[in-house]
Amino acid sequence: MTTLRRLGVAVCALPLALLAPSLAMAAGGKSAPIAIVADTRFIDNSLMHWWAQMYNENHMAFALMTMVIIPVLGVILGVVADFFMRMTGIDLEKRELAEK
């Protein structure tokens, strides 16, 4: 255990020693914010075009739609996956709680 502790201290000390020059040399300016616009000219698919257009015109609506779509899709995929997993015959409700 003592050897393990010594090894741990040595391993932790190495990055700390390497960190020192970075801290000392830290200098420079902040990067400027970037404005991103979706280029809709080459999008053929109407759904994709509408989506990109909304991104350009209304970031709030775009963010809200994303916030709704992600959890709803997550739940749908979870339910579908559950349906197929049940067909495997594995008990999906019981497990033994043990560390070793």
Partner 1 sequence: MDWLYMMMPISGVNIFWPGLIILGLGVGIIGGFFGLGGAWMVTPGLNILGFPMAFAIGTDMAQMAGKSLISTMRHGKFGNVDYLLGIVMLIGTVIGMEIGAQMIMWLERIGQVDKVVRWFYVVLLTIIAWIVFADVAKRRAKEREAREKNQEVDKLESGFDWGKRLQAIRVPPMVHFKHAGVYCSFWLPICVSLFTGWLAGILGIGGGLIRMPALVYLIGCPTHLAVGTDLFEVAISGLYGAASFTYKGRTELVAAIIMLAGAAVGAQIGVVATKYVKGYGIRIVFGMAVIGCLFSVLFRQLAAELPSMANLFTVLATIDVLGLVSLTAIYITIRMLKGAKAEIAAKKRAAGN
- Find all residues with CB under 8 Å of 16, minimum gap 6, and list them: none
Q: Helices marked H in 26-89 — which ranges?
A: 46-57, 59-86
Applying CB under 8 A, among 2, 32, 36, 46 the residue interacting with partner 1 is 36
Instruction: Look at residues 73, 46, 50 and name the one whose alpha carbon lies nearest to residue 62.
Output: 50
> 37: which residues sit within 8 A by CB, 6+ positions away?
56
Binding to partner 1 (CB under 8 A) within 59-78 occurs at 59-60, 62-63, 65-67, 69-71, 73-75, 77-78
Give the binding site for partner 1 (CB under 8 A). Answer: 1, 4-5, 8, 11-12, 14-16, 18-19, 22-23, 25-30, 34, 36, 38-40, 42-43, 48-49, 51-52, 55, 59-60, 62-63, 65-67, 69-71, 73-75, 77-82, 85, 88-100
